[in-house]
Amino acid sequence: MTDLKAIVPAAGIGKRLRPHTLTTPKVLFNVAGKPIIGHILDFLIEAGIDDIVVVVGYESSQVERYLHEQYPEVTRTVQQTERKGLGHAVHIALEDNEEPVLIMLGDTIIDIELKTILESSKSFIGVREVPNPQAFGVVEMDGKQVQKLVEKPENPTSNLAIAGIYRIQNQLKLKRSIERLIEQNVTTKGEIQLTDALQDMLESGEKIEVFNVDNWYDCGSWDSILETNRILLDKSENGSPVVKDSVINEPCYIAPTAQLINSIVGPHVTLDEGAIIKNTIISDSVVAKGATLENCSISGSLIGEHAHVQGTVRKLSVGDYSEIKFD
């Protein structure tokens, strides 16, 4: 075990995933058999961290219920009552001490070896080369040291994107930097950004290095959730249950209470608890709790909780409790 505390900001609304996030917080989306935040917490626990602060906000009661049921011994929550950005969310969870802290974003699943980073006495930012750096916070380097951080630059000078994980050696320094942003009303796109706070730390003399995050799976959009679902199912060693009158093309995740009736499922399908698949061919899709598909042929789709889809379709993103029929 390590004495390092972790902070997981999980208060966001998830606008890019509407209509699904109108009723379900993004961090509770089931990807490859587990909510996104479940993957993150399991990763942190496996790394030896047993003090995890989850920042909740949007639909917080759902997130808190899940944490209480599944991770009561290692998690505690703090509320972000106003949506003022990632930096603001992190500030709420920081303490007035000079202890190190690990920050891991609540919509990013990472699979790396953390031991060296956790045991270090330096500040680090996880990075990865990307083809579209304008969509991310970007790191500019000077040798081994971070020289500059820019949040979603219009004209990026680097393709090193921040990969959603940070180790800060002195959390009080970060807290003071965020407070300066708040006091001076320094915002990027209307929000208090963690990237701007880290830049403030750099300008105050803090030394920050980077480490590569090769296995970085974003869950912030429809396409990225399906891609992450594919990758994690390919990595999974858990097989699907045996069914009598249906065919399962692995890899898939089939929840114990999901029902398959005269259907072909997979590859790369996640079926959550209570889902019913009847006379349907489905691949490369995530079907949420209690959803029903009948007489369908679909691929590359997200089906919300308790949605009911009937008839021949190709590709759908259907929110919770929707009903769609095709003649």
pLDDT digits (tens, 9 = 90+) for 59-113: 888 999 999 999 988 889 999 988 898 999 999 999 999 999 999 999 889 888 8
The answer on 173 and 79 residing in a single domain is: yes
233 inside domain? no
**Separation in Å, CA 17 to CA 44, 200, 230, 239, 303:** 25, 32, 18, 29, 12
Whether 25 and 100 share a structural domain: yes
Q: Would 13 be classed as within a structural domain? A: yes
204-253 tens-digit pLDDT: 999 999 998 988 887 777 888 999 999 999 988 777 777 889 999 999 99
The model's pLDDT over 155-203, given as tens digits with 9 standing for 90+, comes to 888 889 888 899 999 999 999 999 999 999 998 888 899 999 999 999 9
Residue span of the structural domain in which 320 resides:
239-325
First vs last Cα of the chain: how many Å apart?
Answer: 58
Same domain for 182 and 270, yes or no, is no
Separation in Å, CA 163 to CA 107, 126, 130, 137, 215: 11, 5, 10, 9, 10
* Residue 117: CATH number of its domain: 3.90.550.10
- Tokens linked to 93: 């969870």
Within-domain flag for 190:
yes
Please state the pTM of the whole predicted model: 0.89
